[in-house]
Amino acid sequence: MPGTLTVGERIVLHLGQYSKYLDSYDAPLDVSQDGIATALRISRAHAAIELKKLKENGEVLEKLVHIKRGKTKRKVYFLTPAGEERASKVRQFAESEGIEVRAFLDLKKCKGPELWASLDEPSREVLGQAGVFRRPFRRDALPETTISLLPVDPDGMVDLPEALKEYSATVASEDQLRRYHSFAADYWLREGDYRERLYHLVGAGRGKEAEMLLSSKASVLLANADQDLHSIFSSVLPSERYSGRVLFAQARAALQAGELDAALDRARELQSSTMPEERINGITMEGLVMREKGELPRAYALLDRARDELPETSVRLECEIAETLMRAERLPEATGVLENLLTGEVREADQLERIFYLLGLAYLRSGMAQEAVRSFSKSRGAARDKENGEIYLRLSDAYSLMGMEEKAVEYAQRAKRTRKPNLGRS
């Protein structure tokens, strides 16, 4: 039965696992107040109150030692001989009552079936809801339980061990899982996390909302595309109304994840559309896939065909054409495409950032170092992220080509101190 072990008894049992560290120079975090609270799924304040009682009873002693891999000393707690005796009695009591002790101790060491068997229905419901979350979430988002069930970190966040997440999914019905995912989807809406919301909308069977979110937030989501995002996007089944936008987003996610065959399938589905814009998107995507496959003449032909079918110039498409030309070592043509764009009215900062970046690459590969420095500097000027490691690296290359080694080293060091965003550039 849940709740048959008091918090004090659980602390005694928990500390009984670490008696071997009593005379050690350092101790594990698990015997600190924070470690005890996290392991036993109780608040730090609750742990402090119970530890005070145990010290007053002479069952726990307090020491100031180094925590393993820590730089400072912290208070930690160990059982006294009286505490060891009590721990032994608690274990005997638990065994006689049929209580599974591990279910009341560290959640990381507790097997799913053992914990599940010890819980009442309301607690199982909370554990099931927590189990669908892939990322840490706020504990106060879920109802309280009669026992301290979920591991809460000092910031009030919960993240179940993977083994428990997997087990809770196996014991929940399909209806329950959809309901849990629906709850999580609404939680992430409030938190503003579109990726997690989309994942849970799919799990909840809320297909229309999933395709609407994918259609409206594709660009935001694709800024951090990876294999996980490709998998989520692929799970969205588009209706006729949103088919074009969803397929295009799925193709882009697959391309960025390196799933070229999947991207090609979506591109060809788009080309079968009766809508001109969707067909052009399909041609463009096939061109980009061919470029990644190394089929540069085919890639250029497709992108040039998409250009011919567009009613007006697309900066994004022109940049893709320029990048394709550069990969084919057709540097003067690539430079011409980019310089031509700058004669028009390009006002979007991200477009200017990419144009100047690609132009800098073209100049750099043509041996025009000064022109490359000017272009990369203008790219950085237009960038929202002024500490762009990728641009710093290219500036380092350009200064090195000019023989300015001190400047080259300076920008190389700057690049190391900053992150390199995945901007999909050659």
Domain residue ranges in the chain:
1-110, 111-204, 206-311
Tokens at 421, concatenated: 């965003």
pLDDT recorded at residue 198? 98
Tokens at 265, concatenated: 């399938």
Sheet with 26-27, edge to edge strand ranges: 26-27, 60-67, 73-79
Tokens 């196996």, residue located: 170
Tokens 């391309």, residue located: 255
Tokens at 327, concatenated: 């990969």
Q: 1-110 architecture in CATH?
A: Orthogonal Bundle (1.10)
Give the burial class of 33: count Cβ atoms within 10 A of its Cβ; 0-12 exposed, 13-18 middle, 19 or more buried: middle
Domain 206-311 listed as CATH 1.10.15: no
pLDDT in tens, 379-422: 999 988 778 888 999 999 999 999 999 999 999 999 888 755 54
Mapping DSSP onto H, E and C, the string for 282-339 reads: HHHHHHHHHHHCCCHHHHHHHHHHHHHHCCCCCHHHHHHHHHHHHHCCCHHHHHHHHH
Who's near 134: CB < 8 A, 6+ residues apart? 196, 199
Residues of the chain with pLDDT under 50: 1-3, 422-426
Give the burial class of 351: count Cβ atoms within 10 A of its Cβ; 0-12 exposed, 13-18 middle, 19 or more buried: middle
* Pairwise CA distance, residues 201 & 292, whole Å: 32
- Answer for the pair 326, 365: CB distance below 8 angstroms, yes or no: yes
**pTM metric for this prediction:** 0.74
Give the bridge partners for 92, in sequence order: none
**Residue ranges of the alpha helices (H) in 18-80?**
33-40, 44-56
Type and span of the H or E element at 11: helix 7-15
Q: Nearest-5° angle of CA 154, CA 155, CA 161?
A: 75
